[in-house]
Amino acid sequence: MSDSLERLYLAVLAARDLDPATSRTARLFQRGPSKMAKKLAEEAIEVVIDAVNGDSEAVIRESADLLYNLTVLWASAGVRPEDVWREMTRREELLGIAEKLPKSPMKLPKVASPRMASRRPIVALEGRAARKRH
Asked whether residue 100 is domain-assigned, the answer is no
Asked whether residue 117 is domain-assigned, the answer is no
Percent of the chain predicted with pLDDT > 70:
70
CA dihedral sign of residues 15, 18, 24, 26: positive
Asked whether residue 32 is domain-assigned, the answer is yes
Asked whether residue 87 is domain-assigned, the answer is yes
Q: SS3 breakdown of the chain: % helix, strand, coil, rounded to 5?
A: 60, 5, 30
| CATH number assigned to the domain comprising residue 8 | 1.10.287.1080
Model confidence at 34: pLDDT above 90 = yes
Asked whether residue 101 is domain-assigned, the answer is no
Which domain range does residue 57 map to? Answer: 2-95
Q: Could you tell me which residue, 71 or 126, shows the higher pLDDT?
A: 71
What is the number of structural domains in the chain?
1
